[in-house]
């Protein structure tokens, strides 16, 4: 009985926080903004097309590098562990389109918690996933309504589904782009990644995406960003986190497929942290630095 009351109270509290009883975000998710300033040609995104896209700057010893991330609730961002494992400070910008020009829709926040998966391996890149907590909760139905979390897919994405990776990383044409880029990548058969990486590729925890020899791929600087998939008229779902890929030819990445962390395999991990952290913040003992979970 007491247990039931405690559970009910926790669930009620989570509901108030925009999360459902299993810890995940239950608000609106996965809808794109209306195309406003559509730029033709190339693979430029239009402003507001990927409202969950986060640009991360990971810094240590005065040196910073860029990565991508995905907004999954009003205060959590999912990214790759290799983006944030060895850094002292992390900054997030949301609503960013052109990284050389600070548009008035941008929201700049710091990261107050960096939770790296406890089984992340910095050599094999197994379990390349981290959860980051923003320094404040976003007001997604008010002043931040141009931002929207992406939904999390609980089922295994099918081969040949066309998904989209987004990022500010290198492309075939330039070293990096100031405008957010998008590239369509179909989910590939696991066998293609097994052929390429052998046992390093773990089909249960990783997704293989991209078509061999077509030059469409993710590259440096895209790490941590979303591989988002949409089925029919449903919302966009986060299926992968850009992890590692291509054989390098010069500085270019032109050897798809690449490997993405399989988000559906980590839902229990994500839920557990979100529930635990909300209980913690209610009692005011959030820890503000890097730890493993
Ligand atoms: C990789 O991980 C090992 C074991 O956790 C650690 O000792 C080492 O410093 C890490 N190296 C890098 C470059 O992050
Ligand atoms: C994926 O598409 C390829 C090429 O069209 C086809 O040969 C293959 O059978 C498809 N695989 C699945 C699982 O649908």
Question: What is the predicted pLDDT for the residue at 193?
Answer: 95
Q: Looking at the predicted structure, is the pLDDT value of residue 134 above 60?
A: yes
Task: Answer yes or no: is the C-beta of 214 below 6 A from any ligand 1 atom.
Answer: no
Q: Of 21, 15, 281, 291, which is closest to residue 137 (Cα–Cα)?
A: 281
Residue 21's pLDDT is what?
55
Q: Whose atoms come closest to the Cα of 187: which ligand? A: 2
CA distances from 164 to 43, 57, 168, 229, 242 (A): 11, 22, 14, 6, 11
Task: Tell me the pLDDT band of 40, cut-offs 50, 70 and 90.
Answer: very low
pLDDT per position as a tens digit, 233-277: 889 999 999 999 875 555 456 677 889 999 999 999 999 998 888
Q: How far is 237 from 225, CA to CA, in rounded Å?
A: 13
pLDDT, mean over the chain: 83
Q: Which one of the ligands is nearest to 81 CA?
A: 1
Which pLDDT does position 116 carry in this prediction?
A: 97
Residue 36 has pLDDT above 70, yes or no: no
- pLDDT, tens only, 52-103: 999 999 998 888 888 999 999 999 999 999 999 988 999 999 999 888 887 7
- CATH architecture, domain 53-149+267-280: Beta Barrel (2.40)
Q: Give yes or no: 223 in active site.
A: yes
**pLDDT of the residue at 56:** 95
Residue 2 is predicted with a pLDDT of: 46
Q: Which residue has the higher pLDDT, 4 or 140?
A: 140
Which residue in 58, 70, 74, 82 is the catalytic one? 82
Where exactly does CATH 2.40.10.10 map onto the chain? 53-149+267-280, 161-264
Q: Fold for 161-264, please state it.
A: Thrombin, subunit H (2.40.10)
Mean of pLDDT values over 100-120: 91
**Ligand 2 geometric centre to CA of 191 (Å):** 13
The predicted model gives 6-20 an average pLDDT of: 47
> Which atom of ligand 2 has the smallest separation from the CA of 158?
13
Distance from C-alpha of 130 to C-alpha of 84, rounded to nearest angstrom: 8
């Amino acid at each position: 009985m007491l247990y039931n009351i405690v559970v009910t109270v926790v669930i009620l509290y989570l509901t108030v926080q925009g999360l459902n009883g299993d810890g995940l975000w239950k608000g609106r998710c996965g809808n794109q903004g209306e195309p406003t300033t559509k730029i033709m040609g190339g693979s430029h995104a239009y402003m507001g097309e990927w409202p969950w896209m986060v640009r991360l700057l990971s810094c240590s010893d005065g040196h910073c590098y860029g990565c991508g991330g995905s907004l999954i609730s009003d205060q959590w961002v999912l990214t790759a562990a290799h983006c944030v494992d060895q850094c002292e400070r992390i900054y997030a910008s949301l609503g960013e389109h052109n990284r050389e020009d600070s548009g008035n829709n941008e929201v700049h926040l710091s990261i107050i918690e960096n939770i790296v998966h406890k089984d992340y391996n910095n050599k094999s890149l197994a379990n390349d996933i981290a959860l980051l907590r923003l320094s404040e909760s976003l007001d997604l139905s008010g002043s931040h309504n141009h931002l929207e979390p992406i939904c999390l897919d609980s089922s295994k994405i099918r081969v040949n589904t066309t998904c989209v990776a987004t990022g500010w990383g290198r492309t075939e044409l330039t070293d990096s782009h100031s405008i957010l880029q998008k590239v369509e990548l179909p989910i590939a058969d696991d066998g293609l990644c097994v052929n390429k990486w052998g046992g390093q590729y773990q089909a249960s925890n990783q997704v293989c995406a991209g078509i061999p020899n077509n030059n469409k791929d993710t590259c440096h600087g895209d790490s941590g960003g979303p591989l988002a998939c949409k089925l029919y008229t449903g919302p966009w779902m986060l299926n992968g986190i850009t992890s590692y890929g291509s054989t390098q030819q010069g500085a270019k990445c032109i050897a798809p497929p690449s490997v993405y962390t399989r988000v559906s395999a980590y839902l229990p991990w994500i839920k557990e942290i979100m529930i635990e952290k909300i209980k913690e913040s209610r009692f005011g003992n959030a820890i503000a630095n890097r730890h493993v979970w």
